[in-house]
Amino acid sequence: DPAAHPPRRRPGEGRAMKVYIACGFEHAQDARDLATRLPKGWEWSYDWTGHTFDDSPLGVALRDRAGVRCSDAMIVLLPGGPGTHVEMGIAIGLCLPLCIVGHMPRKDPRWPWCPFYTLGHRAETVDEAVEWLSSLASERERREGGDG
């Protein structure tokens, strides 16, 4: 399926920047709510919240991966499940700007957080994540304005 393998976008190509919103399936409404609050110049790269357990797991995985690959940034809403962390790993591998909101419950007191969380901007609230996206858009505008 060619739609499952889109070419990787360069940051700032095209009009709107795209953000992938990752979270646990049980928190899909939180992703939809955040998508309605995206700042000017941003759009949701892929709305995965319509997936059902009747969908093909391979199809879901390919579409979610394609959604991350065509994004300019990712916001992770914690707590997240295994899929959330796989999507975050894809974003890290692509060197996408990453914002992690919230915290995972501590399961092992000797290992209180995932070391990969240090590779992203940390935000306590969704409001802070929206501000972070605005700052990325401002950086893009400064870069594009300075090229002329």
- pLDDT (0 to 100) of residue 13: 52
pLDDT in tens, the chain (148 residues): 445 555 455 545 556 899 999 999 999 999 999 999 999 889 999 999 998 888 899 999 999 999 999 999 999 999 888 999 999 999 999 999 999 998 766 666 655 567 888 888 999 999 999 999 999 988 777 777 755 4
Q: Residue 28 burial by CB count (10 A; 0-12/13-18/19+): exposed, middle or buried? A: middle
Long-range contacts of 113-116 (CB under 8 A, 24+ apart): 114/85, 116/88, 116/89, 116/92
The predicted pLDDT at position 131 comes to: 96
DSSP structural state of residue 6: P
Q: In what order do the strands lie in the sheet with 73-77?
A: 42-44, 17-23, 73-77, 98-101, 121-123
pLDDT score at 52 = 84
Task: Identify which of 64, 46, 44 has the alpha carbon closest to the alpha carbon of residue 55.
Answer: 64
